[in-house]
Amino acid sequence: MKEFTYLIKNNFAMHFGPAGRLAELARCYPDTTAIIEMGARTANISRPMKVATMGIREGDIVKVTAEGDSEVELIDVLYQYFEDAM
């Protein structure tokens, strides 16, 4: 299992657009499961409605984990997306 913790910045708020893009990235690695957590809320990244309704916005800290055969590649791709988009 690989993971990273990320502080949401740049006046960002998670909505269906960014959540959908995260899901697209995660679906490129069907052998790996990616989960996003914020406090007590948890969602599978490949389910964009669940991610979009978590209420993630600037100032929140999220933890992203990936587990499976492609966990190293997926966690790197997801981290880069967070850096670029948030």
Strand partners, 33: 67
Reported as a pLDDT band with limits 50, 70 and 90, residue 86 is: confident
Task: Record the pTM.
Answer: 0.93
Sheet of 32-38: strand order equals 2-7, 61-68, 32-38, 41-44
Contact (Cβ atoms closer than 8 angstroms) between residue 78 and residue 39: no
pLDDT digit string, tens, across residues 17-58 = 999 999 999 999 999 999 999 999 999 999 999 999 999 999
